[in-house]
């Protein structure tokens, strides 16, 4: 595993609810001269999945709670957006100043439950995260298989993190490959157990994919070729989501 290539898939149309994303990605990759191949890892930005799955909320339909109203007024935020952020969360991790960091129903810890006001394509409409990203990735992987290619699928989103400025892309859904690579029980050439115990390969692949996607350009899909992964059709993001009992920062 000492060489790999990453390219973006361009030419997708504006995504609307009900579209067959996997079919469109497969076709666009072929059209640009980079047809998908067995062993590829296809990294799909969550926002196009949200659009394809109709994960949009019309703000006109939202009645904010008193809690959402009061906090939003204090920080000059739209209380209807705050209400959606709270509905998308199972708990608030930090609510300090204008910052609202939550744990989503899926178990992702991030700002504003991953709710995205900038990409919905219309004023007064916001995007929420896909309901079951692993299930979407499995469906895409199955669809790619129907189209003739055996690929892993990762869904990515752009999250902040404690301690460090700047956001990075991480994995929120996966199919076909395990998100973690374990060194537990292995020893290095000096006979010591590894300092590193487990690498979150899925997050590193998502981060690598962002390097060709960018956020201004319309490149919502990246393909990583040449990475050696083991097929595992039971894979999900579950082992990456640390139990809150084991976590020191919730």
What minimum distance in Å lies between the beta carbon of 142 and its own copies?
25
Cβ-based nearer residue to its own copies, 86 or 170? 170
Q: Contact with its own copies (CB under 8 A): which of 19, 39, 218, 232?
A: 218
28: tokens are 């666009």
List b or e across 48-83, with b for residues whose CB sees 16 or more CB atoms inside 10 angstroms.
Answer: bbbbbbebbbebeebebeeebeebbeeeebbbbbbb
Can you tell me which residue has the tokens 């029980």?
A: 185
Contact between 234 and its own copies per CB under 8 A: no
Q: Quick check: 85 and 102 in contact, CB under 8 A? A: yes
Contact between 3 and its own copies per CB under 8 A: yes
**Contact pattern for its own copies over residues 160 through 179, marking x by CB under 8 A:** -xxxxxxxxxx--------x
What minimum distance in Å lies between the beta carbon of 35 and its own copies?
15
List b or e across 196-224, with b for residues whose CB sees 16 or more CB atoms inside 10 angstroms.
Answer: eeeebbbbbbbbbbbebbeeeeebbbbbb
Distance in angstroms (rounded) separating the CA atoms of residues 33 and 227 = 20
Contact between 28 and its own copies per CB under 8 A: no
| Binding span for its own copies by CB under 8 A among 72-80, 82-90, 130-138, 218-226 | 218-226
| Residue numbers 70-109 binding its own copies by CB under 8 A | 94, 96, 99, 101, 109
Torsion angle in degrees (nearest 10) through CA of 77, 160, 14, 9: 170
| Residue numbers 172-211 binding its own copies by CB under 8 A | 179-181, 183, 186, 188-190, 192-205, 207-208, 210-211
| Binding span for its own copies by CB under 8 A among 16-24, 61-69, 119-127, 138-146 | 119-127
Distance in angstroms (rounded) separating the CA atoms of residues 128 and 91 = 16
Nearest to 161 by CA among 85, 91, 249: 249
161: tokens are 């993190």
Contact between 131 and its own copies per CB under 8 A: no
Cβ-based nearer residue to its own copies, 18 or 162? 162
Cβ-based nearer residue to its own copies, 63 or 216? 216
Contact between 40 and its own copies per CB under 8 A: no
Distance in angstroms (rounded) separating the CA atoms of residues 57 and 84 = 8
Cβ-based nearer residue to its own copies, 79 or 220? 220
What minimum distance in Å lies between the beta carbon of 190 and its own copies?
6
Spacing of C-alpha 220 from chain mean position: 11
């Amino acid at each position: 595993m000492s060489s790999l290539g990453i390219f973006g898939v361009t030419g997708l149309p504006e995504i609307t609810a009900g579209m067959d994303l996997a079919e469109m990605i497969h076709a666009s990759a072929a059209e640009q001269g980079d047809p998908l191949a067995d062993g590829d890892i296809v990294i799909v930005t969550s926002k196009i999945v949200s659009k394809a799955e109709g994960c949009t909320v019309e703000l006109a339909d939202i009645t904010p709670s008193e809690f959402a109203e009061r906090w939003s007024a204090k920080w000059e935020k739209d209380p209807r957006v705050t209400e959606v952020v709270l509905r998308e969360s199972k708990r608030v991790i930090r609510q300090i100043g204008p910052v609202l960091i939550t744990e989503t129903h899926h178990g992702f810890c991030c700002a504003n439950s991953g709710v995205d006001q900038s990409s919905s394509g219309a004023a007064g409409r916001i995007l929420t995260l896909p309901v079951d990203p692993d299930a979407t990735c499995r469906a895409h992987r199955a669809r790619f298989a129907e189209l003739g290619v055996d690929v892993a699928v990762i869904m990515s989103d752009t999250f902040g993190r404690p301690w460090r400025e700047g956001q990075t892309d991480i994995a929120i859904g996966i199919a076909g490959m395990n998100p973690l690579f374990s060194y537990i029980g292995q020893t290095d050439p000096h006979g010591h157990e590894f300092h590193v115990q487990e690498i979150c390969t899925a997050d590193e692949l998502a981060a690598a994919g962002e390097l060709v996607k960018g956020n201004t350009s319309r490149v919502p899909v990246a393909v990583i070729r040449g990475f050696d992964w083991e097929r595992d059709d039971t894979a999900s993001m579950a082992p990456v989501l640390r139990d809150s009992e084991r976590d020191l920062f919730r």
